[in-house]
Chain A
C-alpha cells in the first residue's frame, strides 16, 4: 500500500522530446508538490497544488506544465526536453490542517535527457 507513488521510475529520452511523469497519493492529502533534485542532490520546489488548484509556481520554464485531475493525482508534463532537465523529480503530498508541514515524498523519477 504505497503512500505516494510515481511512474515511471526511470525515464531516458532525447532532447526535444515531450514526456510526462505521473504521481498518485492514497493518503487523502489535499496538497501535492513537485520537487527537482539536481546532480548535487539539491532539492527545490517546482509546483504545489491544493485541491486541484495551483498555489505555488516557482521560476520554472513554461515547458513544464503540471496538471491535477483530482486531489489524489498530480502529473508533470515536460515539453521540448533539454539536457539541463536531467534530474530526479519527486512528488510529495501533505495533509490538510498543517498545510505544507509534514510532506511525504514519492520514490522519485530519474529523468535522463541525451
Chain B
C-alpha cells in the first residue's frame, strides 16, 4: 500500500521556469512532511519541510504548499536552474521515537537551458 503518492514521475522545465511536484497522503496521523533532493550517486538531502499547522513554507526559491483537508502537499521551485536537476522525494512521518519516513516514489527533474 503506497501511503504517499507522488507525481509526476519525471518533469522537464526550462531554466527560469517553475517546477511543481505534487504529493498526496492517506494517513491523517502524519505530522511532518519533508522534501528530499537526491543527486546521482549521493544520499537524499533534506531540502525543506512543513508541519500541518501551516499552509505554506518558503525557503529561498523553494516553497511547500500544504492542504490539510485535501491531504495534499506540493513543492514549488521558482526560477528553476540547471543545478536543480535531481530526483525529488516527498515524504511523511509521525514524529516520535518509533518514527519512520514514508517516501513518495520520486520525481526526476531536468532543467534545460
Contacts and interface: CB of A to CB of B under 8 A. Distances in A.
A41 B49 contact: no
Interface residues of A, number: 29
A45 B92 CA distance: 12
Interface residues of B, number: 26
Nearest to A90: B43
Contact of A105 (B32, B44, B106): B44
B40 to A, nearest CB: 10
Interface stretch (A66-74, A76-84, A93-101): A93-101
B97 A44 contact: no
- Specify the main secondary structure of chain A where it touches its partner: strand
Closest 4 CB pairs of A and B: A100-B99, A105-B43, A45-B100, A43-B103
Interface of B: 32, 34, 36, 38, 41-46, 49, 87, 89, 93-103, 105-106
8 contacts: A4-B43, A31-B99, A41-B106, A56-B99, A58-B100, A101-B34, A105-B36, A108-B42
